[in-house]
């Protein structure tokens, strides 16, 4: 009797897990070597970019009894992740300053700074490059140019010289 109950539970659990939504996953991995020249030596960073596209497989309901069914166009979700020396993990991340929304999109040298508007359209406002000091970035952008780093909360802090006030100012992009 115990064997029959165990087999029944096994079949029930197996059937429940088999009912997941079908998905199509494409993954592309690109590995590059970036050389950073210091005063005394040149160091190499390995940059690995992983692009993963995920979409649900949806079939045409009119073809439900056919062997070869037509697929319906599905929404594709694209995730891009960048690994630097297999230690630092950078994802496309959203930030906010003064009711403005920003997205930092990683690339092989650092990341691009994009400002998004209410229509979810993005405009590039700056770029950053990794420096020879680990964790610090050179920021060149429309609102300001200077040096930046990530604090312990994941916020991106930029320090730049304001020519009008003749002072060094600090702006913090708050992680959403």
CATH number of the CATH domain containing 138: 2.40.128
Residues 57 and 110 grouped into a single domain: no
Do residue 102 and residue 169 come from a single domain?
yes
> Which residue would you say has higher pLDDT here, 4 or 167?
167
Q: Are 131 and 38 in contact, with CB atoms under 8 Å apart?
A: no
Residue 68 falls inside a structural domain: yes
For residue 108, being part of any structural domain is answered with yes
- Rounded to two decimals, the pTM is 0.51
| Same domain flag for 83 and 131 | no
| Residue at 97 is within a domain | yes
46 and 110 share one domain: no
Q: What is the mean pLDDT of residues 145-150?
A: 88
Total of domains in the chain: 2
pLDDT at 168: 92
| 117 and 132 co-located in one domain | yes
User: In the Cβ-directed half-sphere of 91, how many Cα atoms lie within 13 Å?
Assistant: 8
Average pLDDT over the chain, rounded to an integer = 77
Under 8 Å between Cβ of 160 and 151: no
In angstroms, the Cα distances linking 167 to 72, 160, 161, 162 are 58, 8, 6, 6
User: Does residue 45 lie within any of the structural domains?
Assistant: yes
Pair 104, 154 in one domain? yes
pLDDT digits (tens, 9 = 90+) for 82-138: 666 554 455 677 777 777 888 887 776 778 888 877 766 778 888 888 887 877 889
Domain match, 85 and 96 both: no
**Domain boundary, last residue among 89, 112, 142:** 89
Concatenating the DSSP letter of every residue in 117-175 gives: -TTS-EEEEEEEEE-SSTTEEEEEESS--EEEEE-TTS-EEEEEEETTTTEEEEEEEEE
One domain, residues 64 and 135: no
Q: Domain boundary residue among 89, 106, 132?
A: 89
Query: 19 pLDDT exceeds 60?
Result: no
Q: Are residues 84 and 99 in the same domain?
A: no
Q: Which domain holds residue 59?
A: 21-89
Q: Is residue 4 in a domain?
A: no
Does a structural domain hold residue 9? no
Pairing between β-strand 100-106 and β-strand 93-97 as defined by DSSP bridges:
antiparallel
């Amino acid at each position: 009797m115990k064997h029959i109950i165990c087999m029944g539970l096994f079949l029930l659990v197996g059937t429940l897990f088999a009912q997941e939504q079908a998905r199509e996953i494409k993954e592309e991995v690109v590995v590059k070597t970036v050389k950073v020249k210091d005063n005394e030596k040149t160091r190499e960073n390995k940059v690995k970019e992983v692009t993963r596209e995920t979409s649900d497989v949806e079939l045409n309901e009119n073809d439900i009894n056919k062997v070869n069914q037509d697929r319906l166009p599905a929404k594709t979700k694209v995730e891009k992740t960048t690994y630097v020396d297999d230690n630092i993990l950078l994802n496309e991340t959203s930030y906010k300053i003064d009711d403005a929304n920003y997205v930092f999109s990683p690339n092989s040298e650092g990341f691009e700074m994009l400002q998004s508007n209410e229509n979810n359209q993005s405009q590039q406002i700056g770029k950053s490059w990794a420096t020879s000091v680990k964790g610090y970035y050179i920021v060149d952008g429309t609102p300001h140019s200077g040096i930046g780093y990530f604090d312990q909360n994941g916020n991106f802090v930029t320090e730049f010289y304001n020519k009008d006030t003749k002072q060094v100012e600090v702006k913090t992009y708050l992680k959403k």
